[in-house]
Structure 1
């Protein structure tokens, strides 16, 4: 299934906000850590406004999801307890990050190390 065709059948905040459980109509299920979603948020604040402008966001080890707000029929806006709330998480984005989360996570940890940053607040 292409990520663009992904359709969620379940979307639930779990573990007191530290994870987002997502299930898709093709049977795939992911438990996505709030920290990963926060540091890879599709917002301009994190991704920048063009190629090569993505920001490495440190200090989010304990971040939690405090709210999930529907955006049309194609996405949700996640509200994090650190105040970040501008990312629009499309079904395709959640599908892709679920499928690649191990690689995305390793990339994030490598970036932190290379820049002398930490996960701890």
Structure 2
């Protein structure tokens, strides 16, 4: 699986509204440029910016399987630039900056497709 995505952003983006949809296992964010994204919890979990998932350098990303039904327990602000997401599988070490979330929203479909393909290639499943 590739090492993530690169999104050229000229200016900082800011969320204007954040909605945690616990029952739907999703997060919705509206940004100040008019962009609106819906993030399934599974995508957020497997693309967590944590060292546990991304590693400590290029090419160290870990493929996280079995997270189809993961949910979000809570969101915690980190300064004015990010949130920490606490997942119900107890993962909570990723700090999701607004820029990271914006890029994740822009590339969600291709990232999710690459994730599913990587699981299939390794004989792994989204199911727990």
Q: Which runs of 5+ in 1 are unaligned?
A: none
Instruction: Write the distance in 1 (CA, Å) between the matches of 2:21 and 2:36.
Output: 13
TM-score, scaled relative to structure 1? 0.96
Cross-structure match for 2:5: none
Q: What's the secondary structure of 1:16's corresponding residue?
A: coil
Partner of 2:23, secondary structure, is: helix
* 1:88-107 pair list within 5 angstroms: 88-107=95-114
* 1:19–1:33 Cα contact (<8 Å) kept: yes
Q: Does 1:110 align with 2:117?
A: yes
Task: Call closer, same or farther: CA 1:112–1:64 in 2, change over 3 Å.
Answer: same
* Structure 1 residues 81 and 3, CA gap change in structure 2 (3 angstroms): farther
- Correspondence list, 1:77-96, <5 A: 77-96=84-103
Say which of 2, 18, 26 aligns to 2:9: 2
Structure 2 residue ranges without an equivalent (≥5): 1-7
Number of matched pairs: 121
Deviation at 1:51, TM superposition (A): 1.0
Q: Is the CA contact 1:4–1:91 (under 8 Å) kept in the aligned structure 2?
A: no
CA distance in 2, matches of 1:27, 1:92: 14
The 4+ residue runs of structure 1 with deviation greater than 3 A are: none
Closer/same/farther in 2, CA of residues 3 and 63 from structure 1, 3 Å limit: farther
Q: Let me know the Cα RMSD of the aligned residues.
A: 1.4
Give yes or no for the alignment of 1:34 onto 2:32. no
Equivalent of 1:54 in 37, 50, 61 = 61
Partners in 1 of 2:33 and 2:90 — Cα distance? 33
List per-residue Cα deviations over 1:78-98 (Å, max 9, x = no partner). 000000000000000000000
Q: Normalised by the size of structure 2, how large is the TM-score?
A: 0.91
